[in-house]
Chain A
């Protein structure tokens, strides 16, 4: 009986490509974390109030919404799909939440999330059962959700009824930590556990890694896809609830382009757009990184070091995305032996 141990990898182009991708992903994740730390240090050293509780809380509170949709996007992208409807679902969620605030905190939070789940479920069902491309399906859903939001809100913004519980949900603190930040924190912890320790999480990665093989191996691929899109919809709606609670209105026109920011966060974090590999924590780093850029820009402007109009924000974010993607590319190429 032949004993086979410590096999040597046979050099084929395909194997190199996969190895490259994986190593590049890992290096990039470290790199992005380091960049985040550097950016934080930069801010802390340069501005007096950067590390102040107020600023940290404000940054966390504001970026909690992006954090939630990026989390959902991570799972969707890990299956090799994409969800372009999240921005519109945020708007829809905020409108429904605002409309329901007269009935108390619980309905105003729960119902939008259920609606978000419904939209996500519809996405997932069409993608899985009708076998249409996620890009076009979620693009259509973006239109539909936006339309629904406008319809429900009657084309205007919807003020919330000042239910104290609801307001607390968006603007309150627990021991100095903003409530939305706690929600996001819990969500991410849940996400990590889901990914690492649940069958669903492992199957998400399997489907993204090789969908055909997963199907042949008996995985319920359709159900997994339904799951990730439903999750994405739910998280987006929750972000909408936080939006309404934070700013006091439900905005049917808000959330424009948020899905693309979410994708940028996921990519910056190091998750492969093609699916099969990824990290929840890395996405969080990506969200914080992109969010800090805006924060630092405001500081720069505020201190008069530069006077950049807020319009520069988009240019800087776009450039940042470009740099990160180019670096990722360089790293991947350099590993080729």
Chain B
């Protein structure tokens, strides 16, 4: 009787090409990263130099932080195009606070504290705004977050009147250039965030609910999953993380330009998620994969740069990598 079940047998019984594809889906990204690292060790001078490693990790940290939030959103079957704009908003607010223009206070460390907290919360609030458009008003995520993509950067520009804000504030800038135990602060932050969210996705009801919403929303609702709350949460988290990344970005540069902070970040984040193996259709997610995806993209950029290839060509190569990664990882249709 069991013969009738046309179930896909476990990997052992699949023919060779299909088995490779299954492997590719699970480990493809990690293997690619490994290959890149090995290549660079072999062919790029000074690759293992602490300064190089530091530089690469520092550059990739904000992307990863945003991309992890994006992973959650994509897991619910949505997308967040507003992350770059939210970075700009946070980046615009922070200097205003610690330079005492906004929320002035007598003690500088209160100013710094507020400058670290308030912009992130504001970005999170905007994230909740996105989430409510998607969850309550049932607007498609691409359109809902398009609103802030268009208007958000404008808000940042209006608030700062498009002016560049330069500053020197070591207390605040610690988040971008501080080095506890010799490691860059934002890299530690990145590792903590990745670990926390990766664990949460696997071991908590929240994580399972996120995947259920993306896998089959109607079924999830009928099974008692608080769909609305989950959607609000993921967009809120994406906003919070984008705000955090914005603070890091301006801290590194010691300046905040509403016109350019976070520009193209949504592209980088989505690309990292896709290359890392999370399908854009939702229902499955790998936070570690996103980290790997971001590292791959960063390493490719670095490898090309280190070998003297112009940035313009690097973009084309990046495009090819994204396509190749998505192609290898696509699931067979049921």
Contacts and interface: CB of A to CB of B under 8 A. Distances in A.
Interface in A4-48: none
Contact of B314 (A147, A257, A312): A147
A130 B320 CA distance: 14
A148 B316 contact: yes
B323 interface: yes
Interface string A169-207: 000000000000000000000000000000000000000
Contacts of B162: 309, 311
A159 B315 CA distance: 24
Interface string A231-266: 000000000000000000000000001001101100
Interface in A302-337: 309, 311-319, 321-322, 325-326, 329
A133 interface: yes
B151 A319 contact: yes
B305 interface: no
B31 interface: no
Given A136-B274, A136-B326, A273-B142, A322 B147 contact: yes
B310 interface: yes
B157 A314 contact: yes
Nearest to A315: B154
Interface stretch (B20-28, B40-48, B107-115, B132-140): B132-140
Nearest to A84: B267
A146 interface: yes
Contacts of A136: 270, 274, 280, 322-323, 326
A223 to B, nearest CB: 20
Nearest to A332: B138
B313 A141 contact: no
A314 B150 contact: yes
Specify the main secondary structure of chain A where it touches its partner. helix
Nearest to A137: B323
B270 A315 contact: no
Given A318-B147, A322-B147, A148 B154 contact: no
Nearest to A263: B146
B316 A139 contact: no
Nearest to A143: B319
B152 interface: yes
B149 A260 contact: yes
B153 A325 contact: no
Contacts of B280: 133, 135-136
Contacts of B146: 260, 263-264, 318, 321
Contacts of B155: 315
Contacts, number: 135
Interface in B131-179: 133, 137-140, 142-144, 146-155, 157-158, 161-162
Contacts of A150: 310-312, 315
A132 B330 contact: yes
B281 interface: yes
Contact of A148 (B151, B312, B326): B312
A325 B139 contact: yes
A121 to B, nearest CB: 15
Given A139-B271, A321-B143, A151 B312 contact: yes
A52 interface: no
A132 B143 contact: no
B326 A132 contact: yes
Interface in B32-53: none
Contacts of A312: 154, 158
A273 B154 contact: no
A263 to B, nearest CB: 7
Interface in B294-334: 310-316, 318-320, 322-323, 326-327, 330, 333
Contacts of A130: 327
B72 interface: no
B138 A329 contact: yes
Nearest to B317: A147
A143 B151 contact: no
A148 B255 CA distance: 30
A59 interface: no
A89 interface: no
Interface in A119-133: 126, 130-133
Contacts of A213: none
A143 B149 contact: no
Nearest to B137: A329
Contacts of B310: 150-151, 155
Contacts of B267: 139, 142-143
Contacts of A317: 150-151
Contacts of B137: 325-326, 329
A116 B144 CA distance: 29
A139 B270 contact: yes
A9 to B, nearest CB: 22
Nearest to B152: A318
B149 A144 contact: no
Residue among A130, A322, A325 facing the most chain B CB atoms (10 A cut-off): A322
Contact of B323 (A140, A316, A329): A140
B311 A315 contact: no
Contacts of B157: 309, 311, 314
Given A325-B143, A329-B137, A143 B318 contact: yes
Nearest to A311: B157
16 contacts: A139-B322, A140-B271, A143-B267, A143-B316, A143-B322, A144-B320, A147-B312, A260-B149, A263-B142, A309-B157, A315-B151, A316-B151, A318-B146, A318-B147, A318-B150, A319-B147
Interface of A: 82, 126, 130-133, 135-137, 139-144, 146-151, 155, 257, 260-261, 263-264, 267, 273, 309, 311-319, 321-322, 325-326, 329
Interface of B: 79, 81, 133, 137-140, 142-144, 146-155, 157-158, 161-162, 267, 270-271, 274, 280-281, 310-316, 318-320, 322-323, 326-327, 330, 333
Nearest 8 interchain pairs by C-beta: A318-B151, A314-B154, A147-B315, A150-B312, A318-B150, A144-B319, A311-B157, A151-B312
